[in-house]
Amino acid sequence: MRSLSNIKISLLQKRTNPFLNYLHRPLQMASTISPVSLISSTTSSSTFPLKFNFPAKSPSTVNFRANPLTAANAAASGKDRVLGRRGLVFTLTTTLPLLLPFSECIEAFAAKAVESDISEYELVKEEIRKVVTKGKAAGVLRLVFHDAGTFQVDENSGGMNGSVIYELDRPENKGLKSPFKILEKAKSEVDTVQPVSWADMISVAGAEAVSICGGPTIQVSLGRLDSKEPDPEGKLPAESLDAFALRQSFQTKGFSTQELVALSGAHTIGNKGFGSPTVFDNTYFKILLEKPSSGSMIGLPSDRALAKDGECLRWITKYAEDQDVFFEDFKKAYVKLVNSGARWKSL
């Protein structure tokens, strides 16, 4: 793996090179274009958005948005139509030498763009791991849920947008100032090299918190935009909800019962009484199968309510029996969570 200093140098070079920065995202798409596709009779504007006109011997020009045979024949009439095929051959032989170097150039820039993306992600991860310990992981993971958990499908509002930094004084967010300050330190270091949004920072931090505690490795995409204002209040599920209300609440956010149960497994770390507070495993589900009483200090009322619902209990049992299945389902649900409601940088 490349050293952090090399990653920083690479990102600084990208940041100070406007040309590379401008080409950074579009070239990831362009790298998939081959010269053959550019001259194919089925080429469309979605494959090659540029419109080139090359000089031809006939009065017409060859338009790359059109079928080459049609373009060549359209210029001819009567006896001249016999030249259509020759015109196409001429076009191919004269333009291919130009297109091949162009394609190679695009591929080279695209490789740089992909490398830059990887380097930026590694930089964010490294700075997060400097400040997030096992003891602080639960708070950092909770920050993710409280930022993304405001998402509403029907309103297309809330979600993973960094707005939680404006909402820290709300009663439901009590205790989140500490993990916020932890990540603020890491973010300031990353920003000196490559500015990163709060939404991206929190998304990656939650994934790393899980990994640090022995959970699955989760990679998330970068490129989320931050909100400039807080999300509406009252969008997070209350801790006192029963299973039916929880399922309804998560449904409004686009999550199934299975995803609800998988994401609830995040409570396996922290001080909620589900085994070791610093180990991410499937102990949460094993303890729920024991059906702790309502007067128990184990978990939240909403945790205990899950085991009383038949559909939820089916998934609790599955995850209690197979940790690998839980890890895999949690990874998928987590990525979906941190993408919920996200606004992305334009390509």
Residue in 14, 125, 146, 267 annotated catalytic: 146
Task: Determine contact, residues 152/252, Cβ cutoff 8 Å.
Answer: yes
What's the confidence (pLDDT) of residue 195?
A: 96
Per-domain residue ranges of the chain:
16-116, 243-328
Does the structural domain 243-328 have CATH classification 1.10.420.10?
A: yes
Report d(CA 149, CA 141) in Å as an integer. 12
Residue-level pLDDT at 96: 47
| Burial tier of 70 (Cβ tally within 10 Å: 0-12, 13-18, 19+) | exposed
Mean residue pLDDT of the chain comes to 79
- Dihedral Cα 73, 79, 82, 88, nearest 10 deg: -40
The pLDDT value recorded for residue 39 is: 30
pLDDT digits (tens, 9 = 90+) for 76-93: 444 444 445 455 445 545
- pTM of the complete model: 0.70
What is the pLDDT at residue 42? 39
pLDDT for res 105: 52
pLDDT tens over the chain, length 347 residues:
555 566 565 555 555 554 444 434 433 333 343 433 433 333 333 333 444 343 444 343 334 334 433 443 444 444 444 445 455 445 545 554 555 555 555 555 445 544 555 689 999 999 999 999 999 999 999 999 999 999 999 999 999 999 999 999 999 999 999 999 999 999 999 999 999 999 999 999 999 999 999 999 999 999 999 999 999 999 999 999 999 999 999 999 999 999 999 999 999 999 988 989 999 999 999 999 998 776 677 899 999 999 999 999 999 999 999 999 999 999 999 999 999 999 999 85
- Indicate if 24 belongs to the active site: no
